[in-house]
Amino acid sequence: MKKIVSLAFFTLLITVVSAQIKVACIGNSITFGHGLKKEETYPSQLQKILGSDWSIENFGVSGRTLLANGDYPYIKEKAYANAKAFLPDVAIIKLGTNDAKPQNWKFKDEFVNDYIAMIKELEALPSKPLVLVCFPVPAYGINFNINDSIVNNEIVKLVKIVAKKGHVKIINLNKPLSNHPEWFPDKIHPTADGAGEIAKVVSRKLLKYKKKINRRKKHNA
């Protein structure tokens, strides 16, 4: 009898896990959660908002660039390999802030093509994830060698081009977090409250596309 109950529980567990929508949060220190406790990071707060129907994983790595020729390209990180191995149903890309450093921005003409290459690589995964790209959160000044003008103006414009050429949707994290310097004490990284606002914005976008995501998930099963 115990064996039957255990088998039934295991079967139920497998069913619940397979039904979850898997979300890979790809990004830099803002995703990783620079200066924050694990539970304060935006992916952790996103998990709390969305609940057990979703499985949110944080694949953020501090200091990493979208640019393949940047000083620390995200695509060369183990975290990126792990994000792909996760076989997500949704991939959220939040990169670009570190690309605004002078040593990286000299390759700005490669930004759009490098971004689209990442999108296509993720879309080609067996899970065929829905890929969403983020406008960077606002920078409130120059720090960590990051140029706020490039982040708030040039990168936002280029992400628009990426979305159009790559046929993906945008999560606008720039506007909702603007006019809140109190959330960015070092001018670049959000506090727990700022990360919470990111989580709220992302959750609204994910819930908007939940039916579409589940249809894709069922089709790709």
Residues 6+ apart with CB under 8 A from 205: 132, 169, 171
Two tokens, residue 16? 């619940």
Place 167 in a pLDDT band, splitting at 50, 70 and 90.
Answer: very high
Kindly state the average pLDDT of the residues 183-197: 98
Mean pLDDT of 180-186: 98
- pLDDT, position 221: 72
Percent of the chain scoring above 70 in pLDDT: 92
- pLDDT by residue (tens digit) across 59-100? 999 999 999 999 999 999 999 999 999 999 999 999 999 999
- Confidence at residue 2, expressed as pLDDT on a 0 to 100 scale: 58
State residue 219's pLDDT score. Answer: 81
Q: Say which amino acid occupies 121.
A: E
Name the pTM for this structure: 0.91
- The predicted pLDDT at position 57 comes to 98
Distance CA 192, CA 130 (A): 27
- Pick from 43, 22, 169: nearest CA to 88: 22
- Residue 58's SS3 state is strand
pLDDT category at 220 given cuts 50, 70, 90 is confident
